[in-house]
Chains A and B, each alone.
Chain A
């Protein structure tokens, strides 16, 4: 077995680099509590309209009264509903999304609001929108021939004085 001196050094350098990268990522994720949407929460996608939470009338943004909010949305071919929603800036929001039909992906460019929307499972994203403005909610996973047309509007507005 022969490993060259220089190569040995290189091996240590690469291990060191990897440890640093993983360390930074871990510290950041744990320290700032930033995690991708996760959690096992089955739901019957064919009966969303009968569920309390995802029934049409209950979708949209709700102020929790403690400086945080909850946003509930449904993805279905070809749109995200409600098709326009308004949320306050600088407010921690728990977003819950379900699919009424096939697999979708949801992303809002220049925010951290991204998740897959998987039939049969509730997706939950916790985020805070930091800049006011009009954003587009886009579907980013192929969901059928109308996939391009699957988008809706998110308006991040000033907080109403409370």
Chain B
């Protein structure tokens, strides 16, 4: 009897992922606290740029703020959240501890210290170059060094994920790696490929140039290298959202995953197609030939496929749960879903935002339509919708689901969580729909005021006003999120195992290609050389002229 309780306890503790609780919590809290800071900056930004509050006007403050906001949202929230999510999901799905724990913690501290180092020039206005850090505007070297440390820190996580997958496979020969870890490892491998671009830009161009070792910088080469990272980074952000939709959501709502294999296929396609297509960010740039832009456009449309597959699998999984819960008729199952569950609400809202955002994305991706929207506020509206909306709302869902399980307590308030998610959804729409419109009305991106002598400016005002309302709603929502999770730490104890959805057709064994990344890495390497080889080489084969250093 004693032994059974002991072994039950052990099972429970490994299902709760004891071994990854601290590192998971540390990553989650860093992510969420920095996110809240960035949301406050966001509200200030929409207010400042509207021009309604003359006392706020200050380009110096504004651009320091946007630079900080962009870095915190794009690099800090995401990297830490993804690491925490990956560690906790890995230990709970593979039922094994994190190997080389010190190694994992080292990566965490490297990333955190890097963030703090970068924060100093950001907050003092010495790195107001925005999160894209396009040269030849130069920031203080501490900014580039800090940002590089953050990225290098994330590589430790990548290695851990790959290591855990290898270890697990060795212990379970021939068995299919659980989908959740297959996804996290796909993301880790993708991120390693992705960061080669910005990593080379930082190491060979930005850092030596900002330190004065290099006198000039080739902006064309820098932008080409940055584009290598710029598309795949959004899939790095999106992966945990998809993983949650495939592996956690169906379980929570009492259903099954529609197809395990399709999940694997989608993850592999995201891995293969995300990196070699970055030129859709360079459509409007000279220095690359039209033919290359065309090639990248084909790849860009290919990467829409895994998202369309995901949409199908996720909605089909919801339908199964709805019918199991007694929902009838063509749409009756929707009402039968447990909307009071945070994960369910988040998933539904996220899919809706994805539908809007995906439509906009097709326009951005179009070789010719892009002309209409490039670098207008349409673009910022678009990525707030799909990144700040679709993606981040699933981060919230994952946090609501995982954090209580990590600490063995009940979520402080599920209904508050659902309200928070709805507020986020509404806030995002109120913020981003006018944001798209203002872009179509010609407003350029990244401005702190609108001093143009043009009747268009008057048409912008109404949208600016709506954006402020959206920002305030989002701020309230983010406060509710933090409060709820904070109170969860002192909520009543409740042991809940971390469980993942079973597919309808169990897939204990899957084809080798769907259970290993070796072959796919070769494919990516070839694809990358084909799509980026010459476009990068041309800068070395021809004489080019670097730009000197410019302050903001």
Contact = CB atoms under 8 A, between A and B. Distances in A.
A148 B287 contact: no
Interface stretch (B10-18, B366-374, B488-496): B366-374
Interface in A1-37: 1-4, 6-7, 10-11, 14-15, 17-18, 21-22, 25-26, 28-29, 34-37
Residue of A4, A36, A43, A112 with highest tally of chain B CB at under 10 A: A36
- Please indicate which of the listed interface residues A15, A17, A40, A43 has the most CB atoms of chain B within 10 Å of its own CB: A40
B368 A25 contact: yes
Contact of A109 (B135, B309, B441): B441
B542 A102 contact: no
The winner among A141, A146, A151 for most chain B CB atoms within 10 A is A141
Q: Which 8 A-B pairs have the closest CB atoms?
A: A109-B442, A140-B444, A140-B375, A38-B290, A123-B286, A119-B547, A44-B545, A142-B446
B240 interface: no
A112 B136 contact: no
A11 B510 CA distance: 20
Contact of B453 (A45, A109, A136): A136
B285 A118 contact: yes
B547 to A, nearest CB: 4
A67 interface: no
Given A22-B298, A107-B376, A145 B552 contact: yes
Contacts of B366: 21, 25
Contacts of A41: 286-287
Given A45-B547, A118-B287, A145-B63, 4 more contacts: A7-B316, A41-B287, A44-B545, A46-B545
Contacts of B312: 7, 10
A65 B248 CA distance: 68
A124 to B, nearest CB: 7
B26 interface: no
A37 B284 contact: yes
A149 interface: yes
A101 B548 CA distance: 8
B368 A28 contact: yes
Contact of B59 (A37, A116, A148, A151): A148
A155 to B, nearest CB: 13
B461 interface: no
A8 B208 CA distance: 52
A119 B284 contact: no
B59 A138 contact: no
Given A4-B259, A42-B543, A138 B452 contact: yes
A85 B551 CA distance: 29
Contacts of B298: 22
Interface string B451-464: 11110100000000
Interface of B: 59-60, 63, 128-130, 134-137, 218-220, 223, 258-259, 261-262, 283-290, 293-294, 297-298, 301-302, 304-305, 308-309, 312-313, 316, 362, 366-371, 374-376, 441-442, 444-454, 456, 505, 507, 510-511, 514, 538, 542-548, 550-552
Interface residues of A, number: 63
A87 interface: no
A141 B375 CA distance: 7
A62 interface: no
A161 interface: no
Central interface residue in A21, A35, A39, by most chain B CB within 10 Å:
A35
Interface of A: 1-4, 6-7, 10-11, 14-15, 17-18, 21-22, 25-26, 28-29, 34-46, 101-103, 105, 107, 109-110, 112, 114-116, 118-124, 136, 138-149, 151
Contacts of B445: 105, 140-142
B139 to A, nearest CB: 12
A18 B286 contact: no
Most buried by A among B130, B510, B547: B547
Contacts of B136: 101-103, 119
A143 B293 contact: no
A58 B301 CA distance: 42
A133 B442 CA distance: 16
Q: Say whether chain B's binding surface is mostly helix, strand, loop, or mixed.
A: loop
A14 B305 contact: yes
B200 to A, nearest CB: 18
Nearest to B444: A140
A18 B297 contact: no
A119 to B, nearest CB: 4
Contacts of A148: 59, 447-451
A146 B59 contact: yes
A116 B259 contact: no
Contacts of B305: 14-15, 18
Nearest to B129: A142
Indicate the member of B441, B456, B510, B545 with the most A CB atoms within 10 Å. Answer: B545
6 contacts: A1-B511, A14-B308, A25-B368, A115-B285, A120-B545, A139-B444
A144 B134 CA distance: 11
A39 B289 contact: yes
A121 B441 CA distance: 29
A7 B547 contact: no
A7 B545 contact: no
Given A114-B371, A115-B286, A145-B63, A7 B313 contact: yes
Given A42-B542, A142-B63, A114 B286 contact: no
Contacts of B283: 36
B544 A120 contact: yes
Contacts of A40: 286-289, 538, 542
B550 A101 contact: yes
A121 B60 contact: no
Nearest to B507: A2
Contacts of A7: 258-259, 262, 309, 312-313, 316
Contacts of B548: 46
Nearest to A153: B453
